[in-house]
Structure 1
């Protein structure tokens, strides 16, 4: 039995422990159902952020690594928002993962394996390769593809073994996701909040118009 399969088994075990289960990954907008989850108080999960944390305008994205619309957003609108608003310090940006399926959780565990410094770079690679890895015919095939993405980003096999077999982290991420989804009524991805107000996906021009309006209001 090869190492990727062992890791796959470990992650599947982590993902099905504690009384929760995953919807079929082809179900699209149907979120994971979780029962008997420990009450969420404080989570040991790092919020992944970019830009100015003290900016008057804050953009929050809920996204799934297996969501094609999320991949399209990150290839298009996000790049322009990053260049014109995030990198310039005009706004702060927070990315929160949504786990509609096992592969989405596995991808998140790989993205987070590199820590805060590598998270967004790994996320970019994961979204760019979504059409390939997310179509794997088995969990083993999907995880092998995700591991390869991690190694392209400089992670070692030992790093990936440790991250993907971390059952406690899988449980923590799931509880964190469910707490966020319940609090913000997340039923589909991508979903956005700008200064706490919910928005659906938009083209870049519409995003820019909303951000400019919020920035103008904050400057008054």
Structure 2
């Protein structure tokens, strides 16, 4: 059986470019089923619209700033207008972000984006609050999204799910040269860093 601590150590302390090697060295749990609904694509927007991929970590302050300050207008002016589709890709940078990603993907797919938005809005309260237990604070938010304690414990204890998310992180490094969060992929162009709405909209307009 895989030592879960080795997976958490990967997210917590291994440099991004060393993630692939660390995964290769860790004993593998039984793989997730190919049709496991927790690993299906999470997205918002009209099918067929120009696609932007966002790689993010739920404990990344720059990601939180984008979701608080820019994403509401992106959703209103671009997504709801049918001008762009956003695909969300987990890229956890530490053990807390990995656990949060496991919980988010264990919710029904239609609750994923609202839950992620809530986590970013309340990041200081659950991820970095002084003296707080991040796992317990995370559970409080998950409970509001309809998750029971048993479901929560099963989600954060699922070694196969943790590895599946970390493998997505490695895939992001390989396919889109992601080495920081947030990173956005506009068509074939990877653009790192938080950005205001006007720049985001201009990059959407350039997608070919």
TM-score tier (shorter)? 0.7 to 0.9
Out of 63, 66, 73, the residue aligned to residue 73 of structure 1 is 66
Residue 31 of structure 1 pairs with residue 29 of structure 2 = no
CA 1:129–1:32: 2 relative to 1, 3 Å: farther
Number of paired residues?
196
SS of 2:92's equivalent? coil
Answer yes or no: is the 8 Å Cα contact 2:11–2:98 preserved in 1.
no
TM-score, normalising length from structure 1?
0.78
Answer yes or no: is the 8 Å Cα contact 2:59–2:127 preserved in 1.
yes
Out of 32, 46, 53, the residue aligned to residue 52 of structure 1 is 46
Distance 2:201 2:171 in 1: 29
Residue 178 of structure 1 pairs with residue 174 of structure 2 = no
Aligned residue number for residue 91 of structure 1:
84
Using the TM superposition, give the Cα deviation of residue 108 of structure 1 relative to its aligned residue in structure 2, in angstroms: 0.5
Aligned residue number for residue 140 of structure 2:
148
Structure 1: 5+ residue runs without aligned partners? 1-11
Structure 2: 5+ residue runs without aligned partners? none
Out of 174, 185, 192, the residue aligned to residue 184 of structure 2 is 192
Distance 1:168 1:137 in 2: 31
Deviations 1:125-147 (A, max 9, x none): 11111112212568x91111111
Distance 1:172 1:198 in 2: 23
Q: Say what the alpha-carbon RMSD is for the aligned residues.
A: 2.8
Moved over 4 A (4+): none
Aligned residue number for residue 161 of structure 1:
153
Distance 2:101 2:47 in 1: 22
Distance 1:79 1:13 in 2: 39
Residue 205 of structure 1 pairs with residue 190 of structure 2 = no
TM-score, normalising length from structure 2?
0.83
Using the TM superposition, give the Cα deviation of residue 202 of structure 1 relative to its aligned residue in structure 2, in angstroms: 2.0
Aligned residue number for residue 4 of structure 1:
none
Q: Tell me which structure has the larger Cα radius of gyration.
A: 1
Using the TM superposition, give the Cα deviation of residue 32 of structure 1 relative to its aligned residue in structure 2, in angstroms: 7.3
